[in-house]
Structure 1
């Protein structure tokens, strides 16, 4: 049996284990803590929700920083730097080769109970909107309507030089046609979810130029070292101004674009609640902090059942 078949068999028969392997160690949540958060939400109707990688780990997408299970801890993987992607062809080549191999699994990821709970709270008028640091579109898949993708989306590819854009699924078809030798790509996915691509594959990986201007194509993601578009920052600031508080879910808030939202909320003397495994950058600013797995908390609020 080929390794790819073994891997698919393992994943299909151990879905829960595969999804939970990226969740950091945590203590059981106390019922009184769930009640405290429910009381916090019950007294408000215009909450802005900020979500981070910690809510997607339960869907099988690892975060970067969690002790023992994050990408930094398990692999030598480091996030792509914006200027390196822009300047160096070999960096773009390596990025797109890895992205191509991982896309089928990434795009097939399904939302979990937390995503569904947040979507329901929006339908019930308990929250105003969702600002997510994630690029996985899981909030949209779960049914949330008012979602701002703070760091962009992995589901759109854009040109760095003109206005050309293409759906990531369509772009995958193009990459498939240009790189037929990658048909054994599933073999390059390691059991820990990372991608290991032989150097000769990367060196021969072909990326199409922009069909309109011959420029370089990249996912519509704010890479490290790049800035969130000013218009998006202003839109979020306006939402916070018109809100009655902020709920942070599954984020350490170490990235400033998320931490800035907490600072803006506190500058307006509005309350902040945080649910996250372990410490965050803004614990000292929180009116309510639950050190817990989001999936142990959100589905239990307001008797929610998926």
Structure 2
């Protein structure tokens, strides 16, 4: 069963986490929510949005591709222009301090890299790239954005609400009129370089993450309900290997019954973790309290 952390015992949670470094960190949409990028689920893990387009639908159905790229035309700028949150910057500092061995993110926004983290695996891919399903050529999402805007000047950017992962609400009546560019090299179908629902994460990517887990002493999940198995599996693997699993998430998660949990938002929890880690490091070096370096995020 999970261990819920009361406020007076949060230092015990953080101390245990530090004692089990290096830590493999799994992040989800909750770490990006303060940037203005919405989450897909509520605090109980219930789905909040319209049904996502599956991999099979995107590949087989022209109208679904129109729907995806029309909504993405409106939603991409919010992801493109987002700035890393405090939690992203704190994780970059924790990596620099040696507490974090690697970050496996379920997000596709590249905010960890923008914050300065080096060892990051984009488990579900990258929204800033586009892949041709014909010739496999990779290209920039910004280049495609210019083509979408040129081909669809009738789309009103000001009346649509942004959604997670570069999505946006778009009335069905608008979808049919969307013109979708094709690959400049082979005229093939263009798809974002992300793993859709129903798609498969490349085996080499999963194996890389598994090797990182083998060289880590614990797993910390930040801002994820773990409802998608691709992230949840790391908790299962860790538990099977006898490695402790820690959760920082204000709502329910799929791993609550196998982990030690602190119900806290990402920014608050990671700030406390960095503060205690810096304090312990200073104590180990016998640095007087007044001379401890401060951290900023």
TM-score category, normalised to shorter length = 0.7 to 0.9
Is the 8 Å Cα contact of residues 71 and 167 (structure 2) preserved in structure 1?
no
Shift of 1:293: 1.3
Shift of 1:180: 2.1
Structure-1-length-normalised TM-score: 0.83
Residue pairs, 1:105-116, within 5 angstroms: 105-116=78-89
Shift of 1:71: 8.9
Which one of 109, 132, 147 corresponds to residue 159 of structure 1? 132
Matched, 1:205 2:178: yes
Matched, 1:60 2:36: yes
Residue pairs, 1:44-83, within 5 angstroms: 44-67=20-43, 72-73=47-48, 75=49, 77-83=50-56
Residue pairs, 1:33-48, within 5 angstroms: 33=10, 35-48=11-24
Shift of 1:40: 2.2
Residue-by-residue CA offset, 1:97-126 (whole Å, 9 max, x unaligned): 000011112211111111111010011111
Shift of 1:31: 5.2
Is the 8 Å Cα contact of residues 130 and 148 (structure 1) preserved in structure 2?
yes
Provide the residue aligned with 1:305 in structure 2: 296
Matched, 1:86 2:63: no
For CA contacts below 8 A with separation 6 or more, give which structure has more relative contact order: 2
Aligned length: 273
List gaps (5 residues or longer) in structure 2. Answer: 276-294
Shift of 1:38: 2.5
CA RMSD of aligned residues (A): 2.3
Provide the residue aligned with 2:284 in structure 1: none
Provide the residue aligned with 2:77 in structure 1: 104
Structure-2-length-normalised TM-score: 0.85
Shift of 1:237: 0.7
Which one of 197, 208, 225 corresponds to residue 198 of structure 2? 225
